[in-house]
């Protein structure tokens, strides 16, 4: 769907809901609201990633990106997350030691407050024989834990941020001219985004009837 079409659909949706017709929705507000709601939508879908709806954000999935190591401690190595990183899908590492040689380790996420307990638990500790270790994301990095082995490489599959849309016809706060940047997700997704935007618009303007109408049209709050 083109961004101009999405804008017209949104304006029509808002005017159909409100009792006062011909409500003027300026383009900067439309773009601000669109970019806000789509992030909430993607986050909501990823929270339900075990359901079929995950396919709606599959264009955002990037597979097996090799990460750059940016730090090394006795218990863990740190790798830089990509600049467009939004949420993690899968992480694996290649590790080695003198007794077991090289191995691919699967990983699982741990809470920061549980690190000490898990690290010294023989059933959960980083292990080449058991082909597993754990990680923690923090400050734009992922810390992968090790014990009696070295981490050679780390590969990340992740969901990136959706591109920020824009529309021609106004001036940005930095003085630059806006331009058309179309949504990248499926039209079915964009349609639901527009309903969610209409719901948010109704809430901002105190229109409880329209808010309820749009709430009923969504399969769940986002």
Domain layout of the chain by residue ranges: 3-58+162-217, 60-160
Dist. CA 111–CA 11, nearest whole Å: 44
Q: Which helix (H) or strand (E) holds 86?
A: strand 85-97
Straight-line distance from the first to the last Cα atom of the chain, in angstroms, rounded to the nearest whole number: 21
Which sign, positive or negative, has the C-alpha torsion 170, 175, 179, 181? Answer: negative
Dist. CA 50–CA 155, nearest whole Å: 22
Q: Which helix (H) or strand (E) holds 28?
A: helix 27-47
Dist. CA 152–CA 77, nearest whole Å: 10
Whole-model pTM: value is 0.84
- At residue 61's C-alpha, the angle toward residues 60 and 66, to 5°, is 125
Walk along the chain (222 residues) and give the pLDDT tens digit of each residue: 999 999 999 988 887 655 455 567 889 999 999 999 999 999 989 987 766 778 889 999 999 999 999 999 999 999 999 999 999 999 999 999 888 788 999 999 999 999 999 999 888 999 999 999 999 998 899 999 999 999 999 999 999 999 999 999 999 999 999 999 999 999 999 998 998 888 887 776 655 555 455 444 454 444
Dist. CA 183–CA 4, nearest whole Å: 10
């Amino acid at each position: 769907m083109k961004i101009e079409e999405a804008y017209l659909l949104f304006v029509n949706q808002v005017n159909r809901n409100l009792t006062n017709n011909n409500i003027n929705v300026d383009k900067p507000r439309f773009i601000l609201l669109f970019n806000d709601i789509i992030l909430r939508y993607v986050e909501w879908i990823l929270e339900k990633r075990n359901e079929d709806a995950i396919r709606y954000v599959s264009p955002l999935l990037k597979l097996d990106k090799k990460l750059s190591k940016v730090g090394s401690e006795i218990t863990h190595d740190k790798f830089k997350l990509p600049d467009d990183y939004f949420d993690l899908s899968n992480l694996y590492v290649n590790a080695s030691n003198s007794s077991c040689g090289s191995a691919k380790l699967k990983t699982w996420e741990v809470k920061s407050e549980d690190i000490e307990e898990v690290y010294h638990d023989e059933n959960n500790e980083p292990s080449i024989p058991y082909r597993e270790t754990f990680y923690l994301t923090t400050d734009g990095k992922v810390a992968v834990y090790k014990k009696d082995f070295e981490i050679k490489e780390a590969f990340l599959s992740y969901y990136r941020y959706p591109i920020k849309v824009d529309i021609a016809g106004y001036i940005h706060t930095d003085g630059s001219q806006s331009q058309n940047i179309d949504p990248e997700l499926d039209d079915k997704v964009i349609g639901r985004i527009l309903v969610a935007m209409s719901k948010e618009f109704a809430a901002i303007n105190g229109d409880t009837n329209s808010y309820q109408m749009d709430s009923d049209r969504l399969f769940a709050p986002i």
